[in-house]
Structure 1
């Protein structure tokens, strides 16, 4: 098999983005654009990947890590100049080189494979990935001769009126014979409207040398979208999310309203799960089978088991086991682990806590830095008081316990199995197995005191 190489162009700052974040690091469906690109490139099985970095070089390198080699394009002098920087790694090597921009996140590995295969089948020195655009404004045009052979690429700023009417556009992705690529790069100049080294000029140079130049047209224009501003970024997100949701539906997931459901790349969802409108599934999240993720829930970096129901709640960096139900309006903060068949009700917040199977935390409760056993009932308005102003402390509650409503559990604290706390108690000492903790003042009634209370005084005189 012929050696394959890839050059990823990721040096531009992206001034039209008007952002402190470098262009290729802007996220599409939860991942930086350049992350999408390198993942698709890796699927084509290249021998070497070279990423051209410039603005934000350290951040791009941190994102891509050891999956690529890097070359700094210190001065931004055009796409041709960017590719020249890869010579130290690739010049003189035999094989096929894919050149791809880091701001085209919608390209698929399938399209890239077809491009490479077409290039090799034609024995071409260069093959351009093209697309047919309803509105080609802003794109370089593919100019063909009278028999349909590619003659040259003309940039928008350099196009005549006739050339500007051409709808076949250059996507900015190419395949080259690697040796001929670097030979031709030595011949390009800056005689154009931008005064830059255009990579597209290589096409004319190769043609003048009698080399074969081909063009492979993708069937899906959407793949060619280059992201240069916020409008294009929003469109790339819309298209990517539609693609992601469509694939989940093919795999047996039901979306009530796919257009208003936001699922990041690489999210896993089991079959027969129902995703309602307004749901956001983000990061490294896995949803099991037969789940219901209710409208406007947000789940981030979490693992959700089978048969789980989530109603209008937020779950972050947590684990929810089979058949549990969450919400509405619950918040699982990082390191919450919810056991099988657990009920977490409305306005309950859980943080860094493990809750055992069949336990119920119904409503208006905060559970933090705690270990709860199995089959516990936690009443309304319970507060796990875990912070003393300097340090966090843990509360442990044994199986089959009953925590009365409005209990304040002052950590560090252990409540034994089958134990009870009386409603309205502030519990500061451990409660033994089978015991009951009561921490409240004895009620005293004051006869006729209401007559002295200013708020009621006037009404009682009437």
Structure 2
């Protein structure tokens, strides 16, 4: 039976003190809202509705960038849509807005908060299953935190069903001491039952808002039963309302990911100083040095060394590579490549097997051939480079004329001397030699030597004569 997730992301998040939507804040390189949407998708939800409100355009753009439409995103099966809650009148009102958009809903409906980045897909799948056979009209997601103070407590009936949710301020001393299972703020419903009763939620409260927890009592009054699903790890139910909580949950997410990678054979010299995104992979026997950031869709092979002080975004690194003190953005690194220290690899860079990129080298939109070397202090942009090439220190491909970018083509086994300018568009043939300190503006045939220098002039004794003039004040 098809299942639906409604993700509540309309809140303003005033305690964040931000010009951005709360759910737009980044955790390990990924927007908070996307952690929840991805968990819902992996948990088996067939369609996902994100209810936006505050900073609606910003959240819509995030959803569009990550998921697009069902038609153009074959790898992402669920349909993800946004619907706007123009008046923020509470959580039950947000659910009504989503249901109005969907029309009739018959299968399970899971309502999740957009600020729960640690919720697991397995928990959501269990949540869906709790109402899938219609034996329960609803389920409440619960957790047992070390300190339950501040959370609504879940009171169970004798048959184990949920009797009611008691807010902290309404708890007696005995209830506060004995009721340790807390409401995580997420709910699952049988879709037909939810649709039939959501209109019964009232707004007779201090805020004049429609609160979704009221559905528990409404359904019980209708003779329905409500069950609970308890998180195996209470941290799945922790939300983010402040910068301090953002930092706290980022650290928890980091630790969870790094522990999982260590279980799979990855070595961390200090797991508290490596930040690996949830969509990244790392192969076994790879060593992650401190201050390493792997972001987006970054994939590291086996037997690599990554870091220290490196940030790789949407980058693939094959086996047996060493990447240290490097920033790489949308880069492909093949097997046996060494990079750094202090290298900058920009989008479109492709380093073929055995290539070497050294200290203070910047590469952009270029292919570096097998075994080719750019050891230090060079810029290579918009270049196709063959195999076995050696680029001397301080060499630059001059690819930009102020209006257009132009390409440089370097053949196999070319030797380029230090401090060489290659002014694109230009081509250097296989096996050519380029003398140091040359400015190459014309194509070089294969096997040729190219030199471009002014004649060196020597004036004997000039230094001593100049010093004497300076002493006399003549210069």
TM (normalized to structure 2)?
0.89
Which residue of the partner structure matches residue 128 of structure 1? 140
Which residue of the partner structure matches residue 200 of structure 1? 213
Which residue of the partner structure matches residue 8 of structure 1? 7
Q: Per-residue deviation at 1:173?
A: 1.1
Helix, strand or coil: the match of 2:383? Answer: strand
CA distance in 2, matches of 1:3, 1:410: 60
Which deviates further from its counterpart, 223-232 or 190-199?
190-199
Q: Per-residue deviation at 1:329?
A: 0.9
Which residue of the partner structure matches residue 234 of structure 2? 221
Question: Over residues 210-265 of structure 1, what are the superposed CA-to-partner deviations in whole Å (9 max), with x where a residue is unaligned?
Answer: 32122222121110011111111112211112222222222222222111101111
Which residue of the partner structure matches residue 288 of structure 1? 301
Helix, strand or coil: the match of 1:453? Answer: helix
Cα 1:452–1:317 change in 2 (3 A) is farther
Which residue of the partner structure matches residue 155 of structure 2? 143
Which residue of the partner structure matches residue 34 of structure 1? 33
Cα 1:145–1:123 change in 2 (3 A) is closer
Runs of 4+ in 1 over 6 A off after TM superposition: none
Q: Is the 8 A contact 1:8 1:52 kept in 2?
A: yes
CA distance in 1, matches of 2:62, 2:162: 37
Which residue of the partner structure matches residue 84 of structure 1? 96
Give structure 1 stretches of 5+ with no counterpart: none
Which residue of the partner structure matches residue 112 of structure 2? 100
Structure 1 residue 450 corresponds to structure 2 residue 463: yes
Q: Is the 8 A contact 2:83 2:101 kept in 1?
A: no
Cα 1:14–1:294 change in 2 (3 A) is same
Cα 1:148–1:451 change in 2 (3 A) is same
Q: How many residue pairs get matched?
A: 458
Give structure 2 stretches of 5+ with no counterpart: 70-78
CA distance in 1, matches of 2:348, 2:131: 50
Q: CA RMSD in A?
A: 2.4
Which deviates further from its counterpart, 218-227 or 81-90?
81-90
Which residue of the partner structure matches residue 452 of structure 2? 439
Q: How does 1:48-447 map to 2 (within 5 A)?
A: 48-64=47-63, 65-66=68-69, 67-89=79-101, 93-120=105-132, 123-144=135-156, 149-156=161-168, 159=171, 163=175, 166-447=179-460
TM (normalized to structure 1)?
0.92
Q: Per-residue deviation at 1:429?
A: 2.5
Which deviates further from its counterpart, 185-194 or 304-313?
185-194
Question: Over residues 332-389 of structure 1, what are the superposed CA-to-partner deviations in whole Å (9 max), with x where a residue is unaligned?
Answer: 1111111211111111111122111111111111112222211111111212222233
Helix, strand or coil: the match of 2:48? Answer: strand
CA distance in 2, matches of 1:156, 1:194: 17
